[in-house]
Chain A
């Protein structure tokens, strides 16, 4: 009776935006849900977005079949401090950005080449010594990945990434129950 549709079994990556009350333990609750039920977290960011209303937004990139993704949304939705959940990938167009700080050490040609590639990627040098740079790069995850990959042979020593922050395109605010 039920769909043998290949889509039902294919693993997809989705970005979910979760609006929560900024109270003690809320992040543990959300993360605990993922670990307790065996869901994946590819990336996670969280910060308060409204100090007056004490609201935080958590952005999670997760993966699973359609059934699992629907479950994740329903499970998140029934947590008491969760005000609303939006599957940005499902709901249409959204903007996703990630910031990375990339430390490259070296000298000579490699140092010049790193600077040149940073320029192409519009990465900014935010720290510099005679034999190192820290670049700041902002973009989609794929762009950040590509930049880091190119830095690898040029003396990459350290990376810090924020994880994905995402927002729906258009004039609408995320609903808040």
Chain B
């Protein structure tokens, strides 16, 4: 116990420092003023002021996802707290560790409809892993340390701590992190040995094995991704990754078959459909991956490794479930695979790869870049190709450009890819890039966005400018809400209801108004030069890339279809008669 009582605000800052926090994304307000006064008096903790609390949330997500450390947010009561809800839900869906501190009206006023009062713990109960309302300054240090523990242990997620003003101004004892006993929450991390043995026995007899890995491997840390790579190579089996898992296995490796799911590669989805043993590590059989459930990998035995027991048998019934941390389970799997001298049948593996290479030969991601307009795929692919020699961190917004970025940008390392997967939050990309750039000041951070997603949080340009963060923004401008338009074309007979915006702002002027460089490209011949200028110009740059308006993302598994009913491209699309299909809803 500390000998000197501290104020709540001092306890908060001390706890953050003891938790190793170096950056807080926050927005002040009435009840958090005492905390801001403490922030003013010190230099150890960096405070970044976004221009909207939602920006703080996604910045913290970008920070967390690119470092593996929890992101920290500090907001005021009422609207400050309610503006965090989308970010909290996003972090909940994508398992991102966040600690969000919210000011609250004094305890005596709670429930009185006080100025800037909101029932923060009530509102955020469903979109946090856990939340706390601290009513006694004596509990404050313990709760803060517990919040960090809960956010980062087991399946990571967002934790809210609601801090009434009298708790912030009251005096109490500080308690160091080591003294907190978290006996009530102790998720299992080590996988059950018998389960691992059984899983490997099944895998060793596979004739068409497939590894299917997700964000859980990335959350388990870089060692986990190395072990995954080692195990996949040791077995010789193909590996696919989910949208959240990109970077968990090197994308340029021969055994990588591309992303799986709705806009995954033909070879990945056909391999998923045809495999006889599927090893899912840290993915959750999301509906965007499985397609129609009763036709999902119908002839396979399934092994599922997940740190969250509630992910097991939630969507897909599996044959062997192993609850544990992906890194620890993979370590055991590798050791046992080697010690038992397991080996997949050479003959079977050869046949399986021959089949996969057949699917690969369809070259499902090919497109033709003519002389007319810039294909968005081309613009995104060129950003990847022109920055290949650098360690690039990429964030995206949500929609077509997000899928193209996932398809055409290849990641060989984890924590380089930040996207809103589960919730699909437009407006995520720009603030996430801001958070990633703050965490990695010397790295190249690229935000791939579109004119509509960008406008959802463009106020963060001010923050980016203020801190001179050299974020490079590739804005794929097609004047459409592209993915909505694509679905309207495919499933609503081209009735483009509310998805076309005839008048777009001049984004070059927007960039300049915020004091940064704005560039524009309209013709295919300008693409490379514009991208080079974007990368080479110091400071933040926005490149307004005017792309072909009505391009579609392919391949595509229509919602409610099976993997082997994939549409490869425009030629396929006409045969498929999608508009007459059933269950074609965006949700």
Q: CB within 8 Å of B: which residues of A?
A: 1-3, 21, 24-25, 28-29, 32, 36, 67, 70-71, 74-75, 77-81, 83, 177
Contact = CB atoms under 8 A, between A and B. Distances in A.
B300 interface: yes
Contact of B310 (A24, A74, A83): A74
Given A28-B122, A70-B313, A78-B187, 11 more contacts: A1-B298, A1-B299, A28-B125, A32-B125, A32-B126, A36-B126, A74-B309, A78-B310, A80-B129, A177-B183, A177-B184
Contacts of B122: 25, 28
B317 interface: yes
A71 B313 contact: yes
Nearest to B185: A80
Interface in B524-554: none
Contacts of B154: 78
B221 to A, nearest CB: 21
Given A28-B125, A83-B184, A78 B317 contact: no
A78 B135 CA distance: 24
A25 B187 CA distance: 22
Interface of B: 121-122, 125-126, 129-131, 133, 135, 150, 154-155, 183-187, 298-301, 308-310, 312-314, 317
Nearest to B186: A177
Nearest to A81: B184
Nearest to B311: A74
Contacts of B135: 24
9 contacts: A1-B299, A21-B184, A32-B126, A74-B310, A78-B187, A78-B310, A83-B184, A177-B183, A177-B186
B96 to A, nearest CB: 17
Contacts of B310: 71, 74-75, 77-78
Contacts, number: 51
Nearest to B323: A74
At the interface, is chain A mostly helix, strand, loop or mixed?
Answer: mixed
A78 B129 CA distance: 9
B125 A2 contact: no
Nearest to A67: B313
Given A24-B133, A177-B186, A78 B301 contact: no
Contacts of A74: 308-310, 312
Among B121, B184, B312, residue most surrounded by chain A Cβ atoms (within 10 Å): B184
A80 B185 CA distance: 6
Nearest to A82: B184
Nearest to B308: A78
Contact of A80 (B126, B150, B298, B301): B150
A2 B317 contact: yes
A25 B121 CA distance: 8
Contacts of B125: 25, 28-29, 32
Given A177-B183, A177-B184, A77 B126 contact: no
A114 B309 CA distance: 51
A146 B97 CA distance: 52
Contacts of B299: 1
A24 to B, nearest CB: 6
B133 A25 contact: yes
A79 B154 CA distance: 12
B150 A1 contact: no
Contacts of A70: 313
A1 B312 contact: no
Nearest to B129: A80
Contacts of A67: 313, 317
A93 B527 CA distance: 72
B313 A78 contact: no
Contacts of B309: 74, 77-78
A75 B310 CA distance: 6
Contacts of A75: 310
List 4 A-B pairs, minimum CB-CB distance, nearest first: A74-B310, A80-B130, A74-B309, A75-B310
A10 B308 CA distance: 26
Contacts of B150: 80
Contacts of B300: 1
